[in-house]
Amino acid sequence: MPSKKRIAVLTSGGDCPGLNAVIRAVTKKAIFEHGMEVIGVEDGYEGLIYNKFHKLEGLQVSGILTLGGTILGTSNTANPYRQAVKRGKEIEFQDVSKTAIANLKKMKIDCLICIGGDGTLSTANKLSRDGVPVVGIPKTIDNDIRHTEMTFGFSTAVEIVTEGIDRLHTTAQSHHRVMIMEVMGRRAGWIALYSGVAGGGDIILIPEIPYSMNWAVQKVKERNQSGKRFSIVVVAEGAIPKGGQMVVRKIVKESTDPVRLGGISFVLAAQIEKLTGIDARAVVMGHLQRGGSPNSFDRVLTTQLGTRAVDLIVKKEFGFMIGVKGNDFVNVPLDKVDQGPRLVPLNHPLIRSAKSIGTSFGDS
């Protein structure tokens, strides 16, 4: 009798709603339909490096469809090709990919499913080039992975932020304030754009459109003069003023992406209050956007992505990420994904629609 196929699955990078749902889909289909063994890699790529694996059973993934986070754990610093190692007080980066690949071989893994964002999939592409059979599943609340129109986690994050903006409206109107909601989005403004429109934001600031403080202030003054004595500003953490820089909160040296943003909402609040005389307050959504149960859209999407990943393994079609295009799924070569983030186009229909109803993007 031929031996069972054995596949491994890992979740890497920032957590988001839907990770457990996709683990469930992969595991259930692999076991129930194809009789495979499924191995969970603990804590993302850290598990590959330090040989942390455990078997996943159907019973173990039962009931996790609605559960936030990831039962496998994750890491946003581990990288087999650039792993941080402390030498006294100094941090060195080492290529430990041969160790990670050797650990996979010892476990007799026939394919590795990598669930994550652009950093995770970039590493997956390198593993694929080094001979590891890999299938990628796109995950990020930022929705900024190339060659897919949608990533799971985005829809839920937008709903969470929109509810937050709805709640800001009541206090903004009651106290005649400018309320500034800071959301995630270092390089791409998809969350700010969609939640800002859904929540009725008066000003939406995204990284793709450098903003003018003068235009933002003018919008607030115009609203106040017309009797609308409050304003809602939705700003992505990576938004940049014309000729200025992103607001950096801290540097994490051991990370492959060391810059941590945060705080632009407080900068904006101070500037708007000074230039308009209107009370301005800042709210940072932060990791609330990543937490909790996935919405119905993300539950459906993750189930489809997870089962399709198993289909690719059965067909031995490795080195691909499963992308969303229209109402269908497409196989995208991982080297095409590894080309930087998918930004909001300046001519995006939603930007045009928002501007047509008076929303300012800080550029007019």
If residue 104 lies in a helix (H) or strand (E), which one and from where to where?
helix 97-106
Q: How far, in Å, CA of 207 to CA of 136, rounded?
A: 27
Tokens 């119905």 map to which residue?
Answer: 296
Task: Report the alpha-carbon angle 264-268-270, nearest 5.
Answer: 120
Instruction: Name residue 313's amino acid.
Output: I
Q: Which of 118, 142, 144, 338 is catalytic?
A: 142
Strand partners, 249: none
| Of 22, 75, 69, the residue nearest 50 (C-alpha) | 75
Q: How far, in Å, CA of 12 to CA of 43, rounded?
A: 7
Give, rounded to a whole angstrom, the gap between the first and last alpha carbons of the chain.
70
Q: How far, in Å, CA of 296 to CA of 302, rounded?
A: 10
Pairing type for strands 37-41 and 53-56 reads antiparallel
Task: Report the alpha-carbon angle 350-353-354, nearest 5.
Answer: 85
Tokens for 290, please give them: 């990543």
Q: In 300-363, where do the E strands start and end? A: 320-325, 328-333
Q: How far, in Å, CA of 114 to CA of 135, rounded?
A: 6
Q: How far, in Å, CA of 5 to CA of 26, rounded?
A: 14
Task: Report the alpha-carbon angle 338-189-216, nearest 5.
Answer: 150
Task: Report the alpha-carbon angle 50-56-59, nearest 5.
Answer: 150
The answer to whether 142 is a known catalytic residue is yes
If residue 333 lies in a helix (H) or strand (E), which one and from where to where?
strand 328-333
Q: Which residues are catalytic?
A: 142
